Amino acid sequence: MDSRDICTLSALELTEAYRAGTLSPVEATDAVLDAIDRVDGHLTAFCLVDPEGARASARDALQRYRDGRPRGPLDGVPTSIKDVFLTAGHPTYRGSTLLAEADDGTLPTVDAPVTAATLEAGCVVVGKTTTPEFAWKGVTDSLLLGATRNPYDPGLTPGGSSGGSASAVAAGLGPLSTGTDAGGSVRIPAAFTGTVALKPTYGVIPMFPSSPFGTLAHAGPMTRTVLDTAAFMDELIRPDSRDWSAVPPSATCPGGDGYLAAALDVGRSDRPLDGVRVAYSRNLGFGVNDSDVEREVDAAVHALSELGAHVDEIDLGLSDPVDAFHVLWFAGAAAVVKPLGDGAIDRIDPTLRDALGRYHDFTAQNYLDAVAERMALGVRLGAVHHTYDVLVTPTTPIPAFTAGADVPAGWHSPDWTSWTPYTYLFNMTQQPALSVPCGMTDSGLPVGVQLVGARFADRMVVRTGAALETRVVGRVPLPRVHASSQALT
């Protein structure tokens, strides 16, 4: 198989080929490393590439297949790690020039739980992906590395803060990546780049060290297909005692069946969503959508109905909880910057500095009021799931915009939260939320639909997404900047 064609395969397609002996982990890893060399100069998706370590891991995986003992369904799959997760033997700068300049050469000796689980699954880690400074915003650019770019149009942002991971996956630079999401940071870039991302219920994937954004922050898989997301989830939910707030795998897989089993189950029927109750809210009561986005999401909801789901369009009548979110969010952002010293504020991302100038000096009462609003929101959304299994919204109300900007040109607000009103709400409520690519705008940019479940109903969300994917697959073509393109050298 041509190396460029290898980069179009999903993770599960790769491992199927490994088992059949028609492709090896070494060949796949070489293809991805070659693609990074050819393609990433157009994107800046990676901040670190480890060819030597990746090839050694690929050789180990190949031997396991030869011995008939692969570790699991993702053994030998080229994978990347967002540069907020500790990786033993490699630096973690979190997109910050301050951390890079303070590097004294001492490297981490432990892996974050997400990194450890990825390695234990046999995945071949090819490198680390870019993030804005401290993963603080919904786009990906930094003083350290500049702007990460969208494979569908390199003049546009891939979103963020897991934009490097999304850009890498979309461009064929490895079918799996890891991200974090404290306000939309895996789902926003998934919507902007035509990829799949899941923010699980809080605590389902262990995290260490703990995030400065506290219980808003989730880890999640970023892939090209819902099936790959499901397979990756089965590996990432491994227990890790370093996260005291983590929940056991049985919280979302009580019968022992995992995410991949739930996703594969939809192939048993032409109407796999019979009995599934879906609520569709176009705007949650406060958003305003681009007409192309709304058209494509409407079509995706119609597809859910054709798959057997009972769909009701509902008016949640919610008020935007952004003020409460800002208290929780920027209290965390300030906590990141303060320990870096008195002069740090003058050397961070200028838009983070400006935002901290707008959102600061919160009192304990402000914080408690925000927590109280968060709790009330959780009760309100929890009640929706007494009637409905899945709540559907657009992932974002707009498609991707200019790279290097926090907001679209001429936008009414400087805050990144102002253009992504459908994501941070579900960090506040800690519900599982999956973004699935469902179509394209008239200008050729991807659109994502968001599927939300009750807390710990993660497998229901993944199963619904897998069913939807069977109807919308092909609506989002490969991007212009892709490893398979003959035009890129």
- CB 36 within 8 Å of CB 169: no
Q: Which amino acid is at 37?
A: D
Active-site entry in 24, 82, 165, 177: 82
Cα 294 from Cα 64, distance rounded (Å): 47
Catalytic residue check, 82: yes
User: Peptide bond preceding 167: is omega within 30 degrees of 0, i.e. cis?
Assistant: no
Given CA atoms 21, 168, 114, 101 in this order, what sign does their dihedral have? positive
| Strand-strand pairing, 78-82 and 176-181 | parallel
**Residue 187's closest CA among 177, 199, 175, 178?**
199
- CB 185 within 8 Å of CB 135: yes
The CA-atom distances, in angstroms, between 254 and each of 36, 247, 258, 259, 462 are 40, 12, 9, 11, 15
Catalytic residue check, 161: yes
Cα 398 from Cα 419, distance rounded (Å): 7
Rounded to the nearest angstrom, the gap between the alpha carbon of residue 286 and the centroid of all alpha carbons in its chain is 24
**Chain position carrying tokens 């998706």:** 45
Q: Which amino acid is at 105?
A: G
Cα 380 from Cα 144, distance rounded (Å): 41
Catalytic residue check, 137: no
Q: At what angle do helices 51-66 and 11-20 cross, to 10 degrees?
A: 50
**Residue 219's closest CA among 238, 248, 198, 192?**
198
The CA-atom distances, in angstroms, between 414 and each of 189, 256, 461 are 19, 46, 33
Active-site entry in 96, 162, 185, 435: 185
Given CA atoms 277, 316, 433, 252 in this order, what sign does their dihedral have? negative
Active-site entry in 161, 167, 211, 485: 161
Q: Which two tokens stand for residue 467?
A: 């069913």
SS3 per residue for 371-405: HHHHHHHHHHHHHHHHHCCEEEEECCCCCCCECCC
- Report the catalytic residues: 82, 161, 185
